[in-house]
Amino acid sequence: MKNIFLSASIPLPERHPKYYDTADIIAIRDAVIALASIVIDKHRIIWGGHPSITPLINFVIERTIQYRLDKSINEIPSEEQKKHLFQNIKNEIQKHVTIYQSEFFREKFPEDNEKFENIIFTDNKGDIHSSIQEMRQKMLSENEFAAAVFIGGMDGIEVEYKMFKELHPQALLLPIASTGAATKIVYDNLPEDDEVKHERYLKDYGYMSLFQKYLIDKI
């Protein structure tokens, strides 16, 4: 099982318009759901627990658990055994997701956090900038990553793209520019001959096949 870093968010309208005005919110959601759907059975997604993204991944987890349960439930005679099967499936799926959260946001954690078992809390450094930077540094330095996927987002995408590339120079980079926002800015600023600058990242909205070809088949 390999680690895949997800850097993503849905831009807020009160933030810089260069992020919100170009964001394709439907595409951001579709891309996150597709990524989680295709990765969770095979590898592990690690992300910074943005409140616009965590519920989407939890949706995929619950759907995956239900699918696995439905496949086997007719073979299970008792309710007790069904409950046991459900817990086993849930425990297995939870191994495939890890959230990093800064204690700075303790009072604002999304309710979906409670549905995840693997949450790593990082120190509150007294201000938002230092606290987020502490979280990013730990998240990206404490883990080995095979790839990183960038979707939508705001200024944090630009920061995390640079940090990830410096800390994991051999890992795959997938800036999904079709989702717009900060990821499109990162993509547009890449040199034309950069091997990361695949045209499909800009124009292909078939995210399941895109991630299968450029992520799953390559790591």
pLDDT at position 109 is: 81
Residue 122 makes CB contacts below 8 A (sequence gap 6+) with 100, 101, 102, 103, 131, 134, 135, 138, 139
Q: What is the pLDDT along the chain (219 residues), one digit of tens a residue?
A: 999 999 999 998 877 788 989 999 999 999 999 999 999 989 999 999 888 999 999 999 999 988 888 777 666 667 777 778 888 888 899 999 999 999 998 887 878 788 898 999 999 999 999 999 999 999 999 999 999 999 999 999 999 999 999 999 999 999 999 999 999 999 999 998 888 999 999 999 999 999 999 999 999
pLDDT at position 76 is: 66
pLDDT at position 55 is: 93
Report the predicted TM-score, pTM, of the whole model to 2 decimal places: 0.93
**Cα-to-chain-centroid distance, residue 178:** 16
pLDDT at position 110 is: 76
pLDDT at position 74 is: 66
pLDDT at position 75 is: 66
Query: How many other CB atoms sit within 10 Å of the CB of residue 147?
Result: 23
pLDDT at position 160 is: 97
Q: Where are the domains of the chain?
A: 3-216
Pick the CATH number of 3-216 from 3.40.50.920, 1.10.150.530, 3.40.140.80, 3.40.50.450: 3.40.50.450
- 37/125 Cα distance (integer angstroms): 34
pLDDT at position 77 is: 60
The amino acid at residue 145 is F
pLDDT at position 204 is: 96
Residue 141 makes CB contacts below 8 A (sequence gap 6+) with 167
Tell me, letter by letter, the H, E, C secondary structure of the chain. CCEEEEEEECCCCCCCHHHHCCCCHHHHHHHHHHHHHHHCCCCEEEECCCCCCHHHHHHHHHHHHHHHHHHHHHHCCCHHHHHHHHHHHHHHHHCCEEEEEEHHHHHHCCHHHHHCCCEEEECCCCCHHHHHHHHHHHHHHCCCCCEEEEEECCHHHHHHHHHHHHHCCCCEEEEEHHHCHHHHHHHHHCCCCCCCCCHHHHHCCCHHHHHHHHHHCCC
Our CA angle for 196, 198, 199, nearest 5°, is: 155
Residue 158 tokens, joined: 């630009």
pLDDT at position 14 is: 78
pLDDT at position 68 is: 84
